[in-house]
Chain A
């Protein structure tokens, strides 16, 4: 039977405590969760048949809840849903091959948690607001009107040029918000990753890695940012296991 892996833990972890936490919890297949450990590392796994791995939201949430429960007590590296190895020996060999990477990543996330910040807005309304700013759009656009006039093709270019400039202004605005957030994060000594314009409504999707004791300061910083940007909706979530801060591929 194959083994489904949930998380990687340091060998310094109190294994008795892990085992007691896992007692009574079932894996996806309904099988018991257990520890596979070496001198340097430990893995939480359960037995499973490949055919029993159904990728749906129920199973994904069940899987994540085990990682979540462990992350509340120990530093760990969460493993992607559906990660299966052929046998306990295969797990042990994988740990041996990837020991350095795993240890480096564990060190990076030690006693830290992930927090997510999503910033929503109506980007069309935001563009309209940016366009209305006197110093912003008008001068450049007027210049374009004067320089590129007559003919339907030139009118078309002119229209597209205005749209392009609005897009650029929106991106500049988003960059300025990211810079503000980074300013706050510096004080919290957080590691961060940013994605912008994922959809037309989610202009920023960020994740932060920081100590739990800085959680309240982070909430305060986000509240300040929300007050400064009333047209945006800030949503801060967490604490999460460090899903977005595990940077290695299993060899």
Chain B
């Protein structure tokens, strides 16, 4: 973005350029599949989808807990399940050398997946 298109900004132009650059650069989130890394590339794609679904489930569960519609036993079981899912996900990320950032795909104008 050229500087003359900025009509108002409270920060520095460099700072803004950096922030906007983060939005347009999807280098890190790009799936780089080659014959040598097919396993990890595929793992990244699959784990990204699993993580998205896990987070959606977790969010919905928290909405229900917050809404007060679950009994103590149900909350206990929910906690056990979700916590184990989270731990399992951490294990898999470690196994494939992936970080949270790796699993967050940049969807360009739509922003980050998660």
Which residues of A (180-205) have their CB < 8 Å from a CB of B? 195, 197-202, 205
A146 close to B (CB within 8 Å): no
Chain B residues with CB below 8 A from A238, complex form: 5, 7
Report the interface size class on chain A.
35 or more
User: Interface residues of B: mostly helix, strand, loop or mixed?
Assistant: helix
Instruction: Tell which of B1, B11, B62, B63 has the most Cβ of chain A within 10 Å.
Output: B62
Which residues of A (103-149) have their CB < 8 Å from a CB of B? 115, 118, 120, 148
Residue among A160, A198, A234, A237 making CB contact with B58, cutoff 8 Å:
A160
Chain A 212-240, CB-CB to B under 8 Å as 1, else 0, gives: 00010011001100100000011111101
Chain A nearest Cβ from B89, distance in angstroms: 14
B36 close to A (CB within 8 Å): no
Q: With A and B bound together, what is the CA distance between A238 and B8 in angstroms? A: 10
CB pair A234 B9 closer than 8 Å: yes
CB pair B7 A195 closer than 8 Å: no
Chain B residues with CB below 8 A from A50, complex form: none
B75 close to A (CB within 8 Å): yes
A250 close to B (CB within 8 Å): no
Residue among B1, B7, B72, B78 making CB contact with A219, cutoff 8 Å:
B7
Residue among A152, A157, A160, A236 making CB contact with B6, cutoff 8 Å:
A236
CB pair A215 B7 closer than 8 Å: yes
Residue among B1, B80, B111 making CB contact with A197, cutoff 8 Å:
B111
Which residues of A (141-192) have their CB < 8 Å from a CB of B? 148, 151-154, 156-157, 160-161, 164-165
Q: With A and B bound together, what is the CA distance between A103 and B77 in angstroms? A: 59
CB pair A153 B83 closer than 8 Å: yes
A221: nearest residue on chain B (CB-CB)? B8
User: Interface residues of A: mostly helix, strand, loop or mixed?
Assistant: mixed
Which residues of B (31-45) have their CB < 8 Å from a CB of A? none
B98 close to A (CB within 8 Å): no
Residue count of chain B within 8 Å CB distance of chain A: 32
B111: nearest residue on chain A (CB-CB)? A198
Residue among B20, B76, B78, B83 making CB contact with A118, cutoff 8 Å:
B20
CB pair B110 A223 closer than 8 Å: no
Residue among B7, B63, B82 making CB contact with A237, cutoff 8 Å:
B7
CB pair A236 B83 closer than 8 Å: no
B65 close to A (CB within 8 Å): yes
CB pair B9 A198 closer than 8 Å: no
CB pair B1 A237 closer than 8 Å: yes
Which residues of A (43-83) have their CB < 8 Å from a CB of B? none
Residue among B8, B77, B110 making CB contact with A222, cutoff 8 Å:
B8
B92 close to A (CB within 8 Å): no
Q: A153-B83, A156-B82 are in contact. Are A148 and B75 (CB under 8 A)?
A: yes
B27 close to A (CB within 8 Å): no
Chain A residues with CB below 8 A from B5, complex form: 237-238, 240
B22 close to A (CB within 8 Å): yes
Chain B residues with CB below 8 A from A152, complex form: 79, 83
A197: nearest residue on chain B (CB-CB)? B111
Q: With A and B bound together, what is the CA distance between A197 and B114 in angstroms? A: 10
B23 close to A (CB within 8 Å): yes
8 smallest CB-CB distances across A and B, nearest first, come from A198-B111, A153-B79, A164-B62, A157-B79, A236-B8, A153-B80, A156-B83, A236-B7
A-B contact pairs, 8 of them (CB 8 A): A120-B19, A160-B58, A199-B22, A200-B112, A201-B22, A218-B7, A235-B10, A237-B5
